[in-house]
Amino acid sequence: MAVRCQSPLQLKLHHISTTNSTTQPRPTVTFFPKSHLQSSLKFNLSVSAVPKSVAVTAEPEPVFTSVKTFAPATVANLGPGFDFLGCAVDGIGDYVTLRVDPNVHPGEVSISDISGAGSKLSKNPLWNCAGIAAIAVMKMLKIRSVGLSLSLEKGLPLGSGLGSSAASAAAAAVAVNELFGGKLSVSELVLAGLESESKVSGYHADNVAPSIMGGFVLIRSYDPLELMQLKFPHEKDLFFVLVNPEFEAPTKKMRAALPLEITMSHHVWNCSQAGALVASVLQGDLRGFGKALSSDKIVEPRRAPLIPGMEAVKKAAIEAGAFGCTISGAGPTAVAVTDDEETGRKIGERMVEAFLDGGNLKALAMVKQLDRVGARLVSSIPR
């Protein structure tokens, strides 16, 4: 199983020593993991427009015998926003069906079925992202008197760069919460999903937070955890062109390709582009958004060569009229942005051709809109 490098990352500014005393030291930025902090990490979640929850003091009764939930795919990083920016994509994602099951030991969850693109996944809830998130919510709710049976329908391919593990975790967390009357807040659901992500794909919230919350989400801080929801104007049209090639890009491999040090100039550049990206989202400026999306100088230059044809795909997307194009998450999916669905289809066709011509890879293109809702209840059966 591919494991994402431990995150969050601390920044440490320093100077590289040089043997030439007459040469000014070159400022750099070093990235190193905070794995030594994770065992004692405290979470304080600050989410705009999300009310604080009331602590659960007694075990709630289930209000449904069965629920079905959906959680959307996500695009993480968005170019210069490595590990701190992400958004939800409408129309594709994972489904979880959860029911009270007298054959399951009270206080536990059993995974009864996994269908769709998840045939390789373990049914052991301790090693499955949906199971881990479900257990986390059950602990928050103090569920001890009933057992639950969970069925996972994978609509997202594994290792696609579309937040597959996060979608499963988000759908499961919301399912357990809804089954018992929706006692937990959005912030607590994100924490449950993050617990799953940290054990399955690495400590990062740029997929699971937008999958649960919908829209664009900025991770302001990991210690303590603080999230900010960015409101993209409702009157603006935004379409994502997602092109997924038949190629595996294990997150562990893609993380290993990242530099341990970067120059100060690249650090400043990426910070400015990330700031421009956030401003463009809030203003609904798609041209500015696309320009910033395409301007990463730290992560994409290291990962693109590992995805056959990626550089040609990005060029083809821009030439076909996309406002911008980059790698979705760790890849291999490429994402381009536009303001018109038909234009998006044409861009997708050119990107598919570029993957085939430039990387000898078959690919599938989809044109999707921003998911502004996030994980939600789809259906339920009352008691």
* Whole-structure pTM value: 0.85
Q: Give Cβ neighbours of residue 100 (< 8 Å, ≥ 6 apart).
A: 62, 65, 66, 146, 147, 148, 149, 179
- 235 CB burial (10 A radius; 0-12, 13-18, 19+): exposed
**Enclosing H/E stretch for 14:** strand 9-15
Residues 114-122: contacts with CB within 8 Å, 24+ apart? Answer: 114/151, 114/152, 114/154, 115/151, 115/152, 115/153, 115/154, 116/153, 116/154, 116/155, 117/154, 117/155, 117/156, 117/157, 117/158, 117/164, 118/152, 118/154, 118/158, 118/168, 120/158, 121/152, 121/154, 121/158
What pLDDT sits at residue 40? Answer: 31
What pLDDT sits at residue 12? Answer: 30
What pLDDT sits at residue 56? Answer: 66
- Give pLDDT tens digits along the chain (383 positions): 333 333 333 333 333 333 333 344 444 444 444 333 333 333 334 444 344 444 567 899 999 999 999 999 999 999 999 999 999 999 999 999 999 999 999 999 999 999 998 778 999 999 999 999 999 999 999 999 999 999 999 999 888 899 999 999 999 999 999 999 999 999 899 999 999 988 877 788 999 999 999 999 999 988 888 999 999 999 999 999 999 999 988 777 888 899 999 999 999 999 999 999 999 999 999 999 999 999 999 999 999 999 999 999 999 999 999 999 999 999 999 999 999 999 999 999 999 999 999 999 999 999 999 999 999 999 999 98
